Structure 1
Amino acid sequence: MTPGPRNLITDVSGLRVGNAEDRALKSGTTVLTADTPFTASVQVMGGAPGSRETDLLAPDKSVAKIDALVLSGGSAFGLEACSGVTEALRAQGRGFAVGPARVPLVPGAILFDLLNGGNKDWEQNPYAALGRRAFEAAAETFSLGTAGAGCGALTAMVKGGLGSASLVLDSGVTVGALVAANPIGAVTTPGERHFWAAPFEIDGEFGGLGVDTAAGLGRDLASRRMEAMQRMADGAKLPDERANTTIAIVATDADLSKAQCQRMASAAHDGIGRAIVPAHMPGDGDLIFAASTNARPMGDPSELAAITHAAALCLSRAIARAVWLARPEPGDLLPCVSEIAR
């Protein structure tokens, strides 16, 4: 397995990704779409998810294909980004045909970034407009780090962000991941000079900082993020620390069914567990969509094992890339790992 030419989820031919963000808001939206509808499913392992239209992605539901997937900041307000994407698709005449009507199908998931230092004093919910802008910006190349849904993301100790990575299997199948990393846990080991995902790094794609050789790790649950957010809350208690989430998409060009996509999403959660410590906590909303463009027939059903494994590897690398590529901006609550690790 080697990374695709862009090392992005858009190495899966036919997929496009667009970002839109508001720097003053310190939030944004990311949209994955394609020229034609694609198969998708979902798996949720966090204890506090926020999502829209995920039920229709279950293998036993009748919807066969969807038009776009949305990752957004903004907590519950960010679900409106899906509405903006739906309107943009409708304007293009796209969507599920019901007689003369067209109904675009746009599942989405959100992360909490309401206490990150940005100006949230809006008069009108900004996320529908951000969703539409992100959809209209969709292309094969896109920004990582402090961009799109990762614009205002934070980890336990440093800034989070938007990440992506890909792998091309020996069979020619391509697998990719796209993630907005905003977890309750840490993406770096204590000291912020090594990534938990370091064993999976390829060609220095997130700094080449190497593996932490210390033992007994994982017991320190310190969080600069929660301390900073508690100050932003002005003394109000943050209920159950429900202010986190890693939301992601894994995708492939292999011809997968909805049930096989769900299996890929389930396996990809291992990628979160390998790159974030702790992960899948009661206050996290960890959710992974899985998508297939159905472009490449699978010659052997056993190939699904390699595809699901590659999805987990891509997601671990994408999470680390999201954090490594985050950049400092005015009003940040946390430093960037690239400032600390040098």
Structure 2
Amino acid sequence: MTKPGKRNLITDVAGLRVGNAQDDAIKTGVTVLTADQPFVCGVNVMGGAPGSRETELLAPDKTVAQVDALVLSGGSALGLDAASGVANALRAQGRGFAVGNQNVPIVPGAIIFDLINGGDKDWPENPYPLLGAKALAAAEDEFDLGTAGAGTGATTATLKGGLGSASVVLPSGHSVGALVVVNALGSATVGHGPHFWAAPFEQGDEFGGQGVARAYPDTHVPQTKLAAHANTTIGIVATDAVLDKAQCTRLATAAQDGYARGLVPAHTPMDGDLIFALSTGAMPLENPIADTLTLGHAAATCMARAIARAVHAATAAPNDTQPTWASRFGG
């Protein structure tokens, strides 16, 4: 039997750390994933409106083999500056890709649009570099979910979104984890009820134990926040299995199924749906074909669970534009 890791967080993949920083007045924030050593990374983008930094170098044919951190941020294109704050802090630590006597930290990132969520956006200067540096400094094994980090100002079609994470330990002994910022055009719940689309994959009562819905709306006409144009779900999947860049890219592609299992609709023209996939390379594959298939399926399932956990854990704040799952459904 598979089961979540001891934290049910992406940091159950040994060696990974995650930090959050946020500004509750602005209703935005940054989440940073890093490790003591650089890690192999790939990416897959399926949304029609992505915002990202340093994703091209993650292609399997590009020279740079490893990265130092990954950044998930609010702020739309303005939030891409969060990665600069992280890169500057890493460089001060001596981290980065060595070029002569210089170190250049490799810090890919992605953003959500959270600029019209009820927060005060009249800032005197871009807050994201400082938030990025603070999130890096806060990186630990444990971190908050829901209204935290890059999920602080996230919303869905029907409820407040947030930051989610989940993990699983496979029969092979490999660990897989997911981290996600849910700011979707669509909905994580079925119709106007409390049931999550991801319910078939729930472990215990990690997002309320409501089970599957007993009735479904017309699934050909989904609920959306189309008029707001304020969307995008971004995430990371991780494993301790030994994977190269091409295999990480395939892992990220497989993990996109988790968006489709946890959100309806997913991968729309107005979402920037993106997933990074990383390998710490701690545990070899005994059966490369079968193991990579299982890893991809586990990544997708963990991602669906993480999406539901993000929405379930969201907490209310002044001037919210959407209710939380807890305030609407009482728990």
Matched, 1:278 2:279: no
Q: Counterpart of 2:151?
A: 150
Unaligned runs of 5+ in 2: none
1:298-337 to structure 2, matched below 5 A, reads 298-301=285-288, 302-337=290-325
In 2, Cα distance between equivalents of 1:215 and 1:331: 31
Unaligned runs of 5+ in 1: 230-240
2:233 counterpart SS class: strand
Cα contact 2:186–2:223 (8 A) shared by 1: no
2:197 counterpart SS class: coil
In 2, Cα distance between equivalents of 1:33 and 1:46: 25
**What are the Cα deviations for residues 255-279 of structure 1, in whole angstroms up to 9, with x where unaligned?**
0000000000000000000110011
**What are the Cα deviations for residues 234-257 of structure 1, in whole angstroms up to 9, with x where unaligned?**
xxxxxxx3x210000000000000
Q: CA deviation at 1:217?
A: 4.0
Q: Counterpart of 1:117?
A: 118
In 2, Cα distance between equivalents of 1:275 and 1:295: 29
Q: CA deviation at 1:221?
A: 3.2
Cα contact 1:218–1:278 (8 A) shared by 2: no
2:17 counterpart SS class: strand
In 2, Cα distance between equivalents of 1:127 and 1:118: 15
Q: Counterpart of 1:264?
A: 251
Cα contact 2:190–2:217 (8 A) shared by 1: no
In 2, Cα distance between equivalents of 1:281 and 1:16: 31
Per the normalisation by structure 1, the TM-score is: 0.94
* Residue identity opposite 1:340 in structure 2: R
- RMSD after superposition: 1.0
1:245 counterpart SS class: coil
1:196-207 to structure 2, matched below 5 A, reads 196-207=197-208
Q: Counterpart of 2:177?
A: 176
Cα contact 2:237–2:252 (8 A) shared by 1: yes
* Residue identity opposite 2:269 in structure 1: P
Q: Counterpart of 2:187?
A: 186
Q: Counterpart of 2:71?
A: 70
Identity %: 62
Cα contact 2:29–2:151 (8 A) shared by 1: yes
Q: Counterpart of 2:104?
A: 103
In 2, Cα distance between equivalents of 1:189 and 1:96: 45
Matched, 1:244 2:231: yes
Cα contact 1:192–1:337 (8 A) shared by 2: no
**What are the Cα deviations for residues 204-225 of structure 1, in whole angstroms up to 9, with x where unaligned?**
00001111021454234344x4
1:10 counterpart SS class: helix
Q: Counterpart of 2:209?
A: 208
**What are the Cα deviations for residues 88-138 of structure 1, in whole angstroms up to 9, with x where unaligned?**
101101101111100000000000000000000011000000000000000
In 2, Cα distance between equivalents of 1:99 and 1:61: 20
In 2, Cα distance between equivalents of 1:212 and 1:297: 40
Per the normalisation by structure 2, the TM-score is: 0.97
In 1, Cα distance between equivalents of 2:180 and 2:202: 16
2:213 counterpart SS class: coil
